[in-house]
Structure 1
Amino acid sequence: MKVMAIGTLDAPLTPEQRQQILPKEVSHTLKLYLDGKIEQFWFRQGTGPIFLMSADSVEEAKATVDDMPLVAGGLAKYQFWPVGPLAPLGLLIQGQ
C-alpha cells in the first residue's frame, strides 16, 4: 500500500535545533529511502516534508515516521493518507 505522510513543524526550528537535529533527520530520511520505506519525498517551503511511503498499513507508516528525530523530539507531526490508483479511470476503458 502507498501512504502519503504530510509533515508539519510545530514551530520554526531555532538555529541550534537546525544544527543539532537536521543532520540526524536527513540521515534517517536517507536510510528510509534506501530501505524502500520512503519512495519519494518533497518539501513544502516553510511547512515541512511530504513522503510517499510504501507500507503494509497506515499504522506501519506512522510507526516508521514516529522514530524520526523531529517527531521523536516533539518538533513535528504528520498526517497520513492512504492512496492508490485512480480507480474511476477504469470506467473509461471498460468494454475495450
Structure 2
Amino acid sequence: MKVFAIGAITKPPTPEQQAELMPREVPATLQHYLDGKIEQFWFRQDRLGVVFYLDVESVEGAEAEVGKLPLTEGGFMTYEFIPVGPLAPLGRLIQSK
C-alpha cells in the first residue's frame, strides 16, 4: 500500500532542542528510506514540515513508521495520512470491446 504522510511542525523545537533532535531525525529518516519504507521525501514549501511517500502494509503501518521519528516522538510534528492507489478510471480506456 502507498501512503502519503504529510507532516507539519505543530510545536517548533527551541534551538537547543533542534541541536539535540536533528542529529537523530535525519539518520532515522534515512534508515526508513534504506529499509524501503519511505520511497520519497520532500520538504514542504507552504509551512515547516515534510511529505513522505511510504510503502507500507496499512495506514496504521505508516503511522507506526513516522511515529518512531524523534520529532514525532517528541510531540513536535504531526501527520495527516492519505492512502493512494492506481487511478482506477483509466482502466475504462483500455477495456476491450
TM-score, normalised via structure 2 length: 0.91
Aligned to 1:85: 86
Partner amino acid for 2:32? L
Alpha-carbon deviation of 1:61?
0.9
In structure 2, how many angstroms separate the alpha carbons of the residues matched to 1:41 and 1:27?
13
Counterpart position of 1:29 = 29
> Runs (4+) of structure 1 moved beyond 4 Å?
none
What is the alpha-carbon distance in structure 2 between the residues aligned to residue 90 and residue 41 of structure 1?
Answer: 29
Q: CA deviation at 1:93?
A: 1.6
Q: Percent identity?
A: 57
Question: Residue 17 of structure 2: SS of its match in structure 1?
Answer: helix
Shift of residue 91 of structure 1?
A: 1.1
Whether 1:41 aligns to 2:34 is: no
Q: How much has 1:59 moved relative to structure 2?
A: 0.4
Question: Could you tell me how far 1:12 is from its partner in structure 2?
Answer: 3.2
The residue type paired with residue 71 of structure 2 is L
Where in structure 2 are the equivalents of 1:44-83 lying within 5 Å? Answer: 44-45=44-45, 46-83=47-84
What TM-score, normalized by structure 1, do the two folds share? 0.92
Superposition deviation, residue 14 in structure 1: 2.5
Structure 2 unaligned spans of 5+: none
- Across the aligned residues of Structure 1 and Structure 2, the Cα RMSD in angstroms comes to 1.3
Instruction: Give the Cα–Cα distance (whole angstroms) in 2 for the partners of residues 18 and 65 of structure 1.
Output: 18
Task: Give the partner amino acid of 1:91.
Answer: R
